[in-house]
Amino acid sequence: MKILITGATGLIGKEIIKQCHIEGISTHFLTTSKAKLSSKENEKGFLWNPSKGAIDLNAFQGVTHIINLAGSTIAQRWTEKNKAEILHSRLDSINTLMKGIRQLKSHSLTYFLGASAIGYYPSDFSKEYPSDWHSESGKASFLRETVLAWEAANESVASLGLRLGQLRIGLVLDQQEGALPQFVTPIKNFVGAAFGNGKQWQSWIHKEDIARMFVSLSKNELEGVFNGVAPNPVIQKELVAAIAQQLNKPVLLPNVPGFVISLILGEMAQLVLESQKVQSDQWFALGFEFHFPTLPEALRDLL
């Protein structure tokens, strides 16, 4: 078994490579930067340029599985230019992989695991979403439209005869990257607070568990859609309180009103104001064991 990983230098990608090393799985990874190329034991890098449809076909040599994480970060100002980049970087990555596979005279590929996001689910403060929930309706948003297009592109990979899985990623907790430091820093400086009414659901997951999910799905070549979240989501007010408790800091300020966040962030305010309560029941049926099933356990490890 050898896994080709795109987006390998990001938060989740680095953790997946770490998990692969723990389990003795060889990895190839794709990067747009020569400076990030490396060739270590069980880890070798190759160049590509998804925006131009260019890829080093040697990246596929001996590869049996692909994990695709590639895509421009959503944590940037949502100008029209950046929104186009967020969407097209995801579609271009999948199209470039498919183009490369079609150019191969032969290959050993059997499975493709595409990243997605819980932004697939419309914002709702009371509904709980299983992975088999499906509807084309719901309030339109840039995030949901992006995820719908992303998943449609993932699904097109099945035309190559590969087994296909998709993992809808929740709020990934990491001490240095992603959303957690954005909560931690204000709380440490006594200016932390929840946003809006603070009742929006945060379906979070520890970085180690999301990486283990990707590896587990790949090893078992499981098809279908899976929710990449821990079994105990919390509302944002509880998230802020739990972080403050772990840091032994008080939360002194009232919630920041939603309209203030919208004025500051514009459309990007969706990231902190929308609510998705997402189920993880399917993982118990698969025998997956969460290392960090509750928020206090995750925060103790990370902070």
pLDDT in tens, 34-65: 988 877 878 999 999 999 999 999 999 999 99
Q: Answer whether residue 192 is part of any domain.
A: no
Q: What is the pLDDT of residue 137?
A: 63
- Residue 163: pLDDT over 80: yes
User: Is residue 139's pLDDT more than 80?
Assistant: no
Give the Å distances, CA to CA, from 83 to 73, 91, 153, 289.
10, 13, 17, 36
Report the C-alpha gap between 185 and 189 in whole angstroms: 6
Confidence of residue 136 (pLDDT cuts 50, 70, 90): low
In a domain, 101, yes or no: yes
**Has residue 140 got a pLDDT over 80?**
no
Q: Is the pLDDT of residue 138 over 70?
A: no
Higher-pLDDT residue of 291 and 40 is 291
Question: Strands 201-202, 234-235: parallel, antiparallel or unpaired by DSSP?
Answer: antiparallel
Mean model confidence pLDDT for the chain: 96
Query: Any idea what the CATH number is for the domain that residue 29 is in?
Result: 3.40.50.720
Compute φ and ψ for 92, nearest 5 degrees.
-60, -40
Nearest to 286 by CA among 241, 222, 228, 231: 222
Q: Are 32 and 49 in contact (CB under 8 A)?
A: yes
Kindly state the average pLDDT of the residues 115-137.
Answer: 91
In a domain? residue 300: no
Q: SS3 for 206? A: strand
Cα–Cα dist 86/115, whole Å: 14
Confidence category of residue 170, pLDDT binned at 50, 70, 90: very high
Residue 90 in tokens: 């995801």
Q: Which of 121-125, 211-215, 264-268 has the lowest mean pLDDT?
A: 264-268
CA distance 101 to 60: 8
What is the per-residue pLDDT for 135? 72
- Do the domain assignments include residue 283? no
Half-sphere exposure of 287 (CA within 13 A, CB side): 3
Residues 162, 165, 170, CA angle at the centre, nearest 5°?
155
Has residue 253 been placed in a domain? Answer: no
Residue 163 located in a structural domain = yes
Encoded tokens for 279: 């189920």
User: How many domains, in total, are found in the chain?
Assistant: 1
pLDDT at 37: 86
Cβ 35 vs Cβ 29: under 8 Å: no
Which of 23, 232, 231, 16 minimizes the C-alpha distance to 113? 16
Please give the average per-residue pLDDT across 186-204, as a whole number. Answer: 97
Asked, for residue 80, whether it belongs to a domain, the answer is yes
Cα–chain center distance at 168 = 7
The angle at the Cα of 27, spanning 4 to 103, to the nearest 5 degrees, equals: 35
Looking at residue 293, what is its pLDDT? 98
Cα dihedral sign, 245-249-250-256: negative
Q: Give the pLDDT mean for 237-253.
A: 98
pLDDT at 189: 97
Three-state SS for 132?
Answer: coil
**Alpha-helix residue ranges (DSSP H) falling in the chain:** 11-22, 80-103, 142-156, 180-188, 207-220, 236-247, 258-265, 270-273, 281-285, 295-302
pLDDT band at 80 (very low <50, low <70, confident <90, very high): very high
Number of Cβ within a 10 Å radius of residue 86: 20
Position 252 in a domain = no
If pLDDT is split at 50, 70 and 90, which confidence band does 246 have?
A: very high
The residue range of the domain holding 58 is 2-172+204-229
